[in-house]
Chains A and B, each alone.
Chain A
């Protein structure tokens, strides 16, 4: 029989036992739906996690320190290089790092603890400088307000918890001013008009209190790249250049003094190197080490995270698959019943010249149609179920004063997989009934009342 005639007959047969076939189809739909819902949670969680992680900037960033940095303390010292003195992480080093291939930007960690005044009330907080490139890192997607208008604007972005401290209605803060109070260090020339070469020694610096007015331009959920700073999460973000020019008293200053480095010449305690994509991080990391610096990244953590999620997804898939198995048995049952009911009809078809293969295909197509419709319905149900779960979770999160999250995600591949699975599983379920119907002896079938 031609496919068109076959499917026409199959649809007609399905319509005849409408209730039973609808229930069977619904069974498939429920199976597919549970699979889709469960998988969408897996996928959603994975997307949520990796989005958070990529927003954090941890995976495309390499953290560079000088070899002799005290950060290495407590770790066993690797091969001590005696032939070369350790390279300082200065402006030259920064330029050299910037020239490496696939580097977007090299920026220092500028963060300091200071006092902020808003409506004449003091707040103590950590301020961090944001490199201009973080504008496009995805970290500021979904922020309220705007990113800094320029790399050295006197503008501020508030972390949401800090914004909540400042006002009951955080969005109303955008456009308002706040005052940053900071201590500026000013080098004191060494006594006796010594030359610049000996500026650091014998000299010192005085700390001068200063104020800077900042305009609040935006509010963001978390600080990007918050993992490395060492001073906790910053709650007030300002452009990196603005932060640098403040030359605020940073935590490492004392160490610089102890080490006796030049107070005028900038030596960075650490530099962050942002790669174009996480895939280039490991190569870049190796070449930075070749330059004579310490470098490390969190790429390995991301790899094991992916392994975890693929395991997690397959585990979820097994549970969804169980529901689909039950639906398969429903199809087998329905079609076997249909054979008993349509025995005589099968006999007539054979008497009229239907080959075994025609009868087999007819039952096969019926199973396939139920599977396909069940698949479509199931994808819809599964999506709704996912939305419902997300909604429920978000209601809970809201009660806990947490931000809503997108818990489930139904990507297009999941839709295709679910549809294909619905059809394939139904066809498999149709194998046995179809071959049984095809093998029916027409003489017996015609005698059957």
Chain B
């Protein structure tokens, strides 16, 4: 399945910063390649640097050293504006705490990336509906996020991440705020979307059993370093 060129190529990247007196190596010389259409789970305890790594791939942060090539673009060489465009068109992101804008309805939340991408108004409503259908949320779309359950909110967040048809979906602890049943449902939805849409998924999680069930490969981090990568049984089967 993976293309010859990887979706994300991390080449000796480091992210260091100073926190008060301390010098923190949040990500320390990590090299990793994520194939196209691959579902990679980043495991590790908190503070292991997995979220920082995800932010680097997302273009929300820049590495101190090393190069990141995502979807053919060297992120280090992009201007802030180009980086914003990259986030808008190539990346979709979901978060542990959903990060829906509380004052907007579900539809409006999903519409937001289309606004930022300056998609024509006439086209937007259809794309919003389509994205919501993919996550199987077609009723109560005029409600506000607070009126929904956590699982529903995360599905709206997924719809929002999908609406610009990104190549890469980045998920930061997507099940962290959900009970196990709902968390499983969300992960199987992600798996289904990945299969149907051919997306690449990089998911940060600390729940190894779930990761083993849904991801193709596990990458484990500790103290900012990549400790190991190993395919799951599912990944091996492919």
Contact = CB atoms under 8 A, between A and B. Distances in A.
Contacts, number: 66
Contacts of A442: 60-61
A352 B93 contact: yes
A356 interface: yes
Given A351-B58, A353-B116, A345 B88 contact: no
B204 to A, nearest CB: 13
Contact of B99 (A4, A12, A446): A446
B87 A352 contact: yes
A4 B115 CA distance: 10
Contact of B80 (A4, A351, A355): A355
Interface of B: 55, 58, 60-61, 80-81, 84-89, 91, 93, 95, 99, 101, 103-104, 112-113, 115-118, 121, 160, 164
Given A1-B118, A446-B99, A352 B88 contact: yes
Interface of A: 1-2, 4-5, 9, 12, 16, 344-345, 347-358, 442-443, 446
A350 B99 contact: no
Question: Chain B interface mostly helix, strand, loop or mixed?
Answer: helix
A354 B95 contact: no
Contacts of B91: 353
Given A2-B118, A5-B115, A355 B84 contact: yes
A443 B60 contact: yes
A352 B114 CA distance: 10
B84 A443 contact: no
Contact of B61 (A352, A357, A443): A443
A353 B87 CA distance: 5
Contacts of A357: 81
A443 B53 CA distance: 12
Given A1-B116, A443-B55, A443-B61, A353 B88 contact: yes
- Name the residue in B93, B116, B118 with the highest tally of chain A Cβ atoms < 10 Å from its Cβ: B116
Contacts of A358: 84, 116
Nearest to B92: A352
Given A2-B118, A16-B103, A443-B61, A352 B55 contact: no
A351 B116 contact: no
Contacts of B117: 353
B76 to A, nearest CB: 16
Nearest to B81: A355
Nearest to A447: B51
B103 A350 contact: no
A446 B95 contact: yes
10 contacts: A2-B115, A12-B103, A348-B101, A350-B84, A351-B60, A351-B99, A353-B113, A353-B164, A354-B116, A443-B55
A1 B118 CA distance: 6
